[in-house]
Chains A and B, each alone.
Chain A
């Protein structure tokens, strides 16, 4: 049942090479990092899902929302950077203990970095924390509210 009309109507398939080129250009991530995945566009978002035939169903979500195309420049999601950002070779920011804590809380801070203005992969001790917006010496955390260490959040669940 791959590629039924309903799947196509809402989630439009994208070429892997097209998505990979954008990530290579901004972050220097090799195209091979995206082998084994499929990509779809729905409205102003790009989604990534494991490479598998999808039955003809009406879908709310496929895998993970990976990119937001609304703005002047595209924005990677924090979750997608946590999966694919490890292989970045450009536009990275490395944080120390205190900076990482502030970043995870959703804060903005002064950081000296050689990174170009725009979205950056934020690292702490070799692990990707998520997406930051770097501009004029300031790093603005883009961690989604429900993943921040500060503020209220639904904790326990079954």
Chain B
């Protein structure tokens, strides 16, 4: 039994999608301008023999041909951060500005938190929330290594994070992680409809609280690294009485529109504004991103 077969009807060029799951995915990294300049980071990588190729759609993102990317001096010194290519998308959709007040509701290990901090030039505030005590340590250590000094870490259940308001909120929700299968095929063996529906309850709770915490007219970005509509469009649909969707388009990156029908049921047409990213379209993992403007 192949779990991904359930997506045959919604994924364009499904055979290519299946074939892409078998292909090796090179590590990727983001240049951290909070600690160095682009040219200096590239010099360090070259000296250590790590081949780095910038993404076409994001010049700070690099594909790395290196066996021990995490041990590169550039990484240890915080000049780069090992981060999945598509994980760099949600902060760009959030588009944080220096001086704003931003909440990252499910923050650990902090790849997106620190990218947000970088985009803000360390000015303003990023509250990075992570409920799990054991996941606070990697979040802290990444923020410190990368010099993200405008980050304050909290440990609330995201569904009950107490108070805002925030200009922008990122909900990079816990999910079934099907989009990570190229790195770790085992993720698929844990997938089931029941698991997705259990996660959906949590995800809806997180998104509803994020909308409560955003200021009126504020922005909430919801993202997952899964294909399951139960955890994506169906979560976003539950919030459409409190927010409207804005279309997502990242120049140079091919997305597929969010689906408006699943398992015989119609979903809101507005959900086509959300974006699905598939491995065969950009040679990446998989991701889902929605951009909501609070009423």
User: Min CB distance, B167 to chain A, in Å?
Assistant: 12
Whether B155 is near chain A, meaning CB under 8 Å from some CB there, is yes
Q: A82-B35, A147-B76, A154-B138 are in contact. Are A49 and B150 (CB under 8 A)?
A: yes
0/1 interface trace, chain B 105-145, chain A, CB 8 Å (1 if under): 00001010000000000111101000000001010110111
Q: Which of B31-88 contact A (CB under 8 A)?
A: 35, 68-71, 73, 76-78, 82-84, 87
Whether B207 is near chain A, meaning CB under 8 Å from some CB there, is no
Q: Is the CB of A59 within 8 A of B147?
A: no
Q: Is the CB of B125 within 8 A of A54?
A: yes
**Besides A83-B147, A154-B70, A155-B68, 15 new A-B residue pairs in contact (Cβ under 8 A), listed by A number:** A1-B163, A48-B149, A49-B150, A54-B125, A55-B101, A57-B152, A57-B154, A59-B152, A61-B136, A61-B140, A63-B149, A79-B147, A82-B35, A104-B73, A153-B70
Whether A111 is near chain B, meaning CB under 8 Å from some CB there, is no
Whether A44 is near chain B, meaning CB under 8 Å from some CB there, is no
User: A64's contact among B70, B149, B180, B183, by CB below 8 Å, is which?
Assistant: B149
Residues of B contacting A155 in the complex (Cβ-Cβ under 8 angstroms) = 68-71, 82
Whether A60 is near chain B, meaning CB under 8 Å from some CB there, is yes
Q: A57-B154, A63-B150, A158-B180 are in contact. Are A79 and B145 (CB under 8 A)?
A: yes
User: Min CB distance, B206 to chain A, in Å?
Assistant: 17
Q: Is the CB of A156 within 8 A of B127?
A: no
User: Min CB distance, A129 to chain B, in Å?
Assistant: 7
Whether A65 is near chain B, meaning CB under 8 Å from some CB there, is yes
Q: Is the CB of B125 within 8 A of A52?
A: yes
Q: How many residues belonging to A are interface residues under a CB distance threshold of 8 Å? A: 37
B positions within 8 Å CB-CB of A: 27, 35, 68-71, 73, 76-78, 82-84, 87, 101, 109, 111, 122-125, 127, 136, 138, 140-141, 143-145, 147-156, 162-164, 180, 183, 225
User: In the complex, what residue of chain A is closest to B151 when comparing beta carbons?
Assistant: A63
A positions within 8 Å CB-CB of B: 1, 37, 48-50, 52-65, 77, 79, 82-83, 104, 127, 129, 144, 146-149, 153-158
Q: Is the CB of B78 within 8 A of A82?
A: yes
Residues of B contacting A61 in the complex (Cβ-Cβ under 8 angstroms) = 136, 140, 143, 151-153
The 9 listed contacts between A and B (C-beta, < 8 Å) are A1-B163, A55-B125, A58-B154, A61-B136, A64-B147, A155-B82, A157-B82, A157-B111, A158-B109
Assembled-state Cα–Cα distance A147/B140 (Å): 13
Q: What are the 6 tightest A-B residue pairs by CB atom distance, in nearest-first order?
A: A155-B70, A50-B150, A61-B153, A79-B144, A60-B153, A63-B149
User: A153's contact among B71, B124, B151, B152, by CB below 8 Å, is which?
Assistant: B71
User: In the complex, what residue of chain A is closest to B141 when comparing beta carbons?
Assistant: A146
User: B76's contact among A48, A104, A158, by CB below 8 Å, is which?
Assistant: A104
Residues of B contacting A54 in the complex (Cβ-Cβ under 8 angstroms) = 125, 152
Q: Is the CB of B71 within 8 A of A158?
A: no
Assembled-state Cα–Cα distance A82/B69 (Å): 21
User: Min CB distance, B55 to chain A, in Å?
Assistant: 16
Assembled-state Cα–Cα distance A53/B183 (Å): 40
User: In the complex, what residue of chain B is closest to A61 when comparing beta carbons?
Assistant: B153
Residues of B contacting A65 in the complex (Cβ-Cβ under 8 angstroms) = 144
User: In the complex, what residue of chain B is closest to A157 when comparing beta carbons?
Assistant: B109
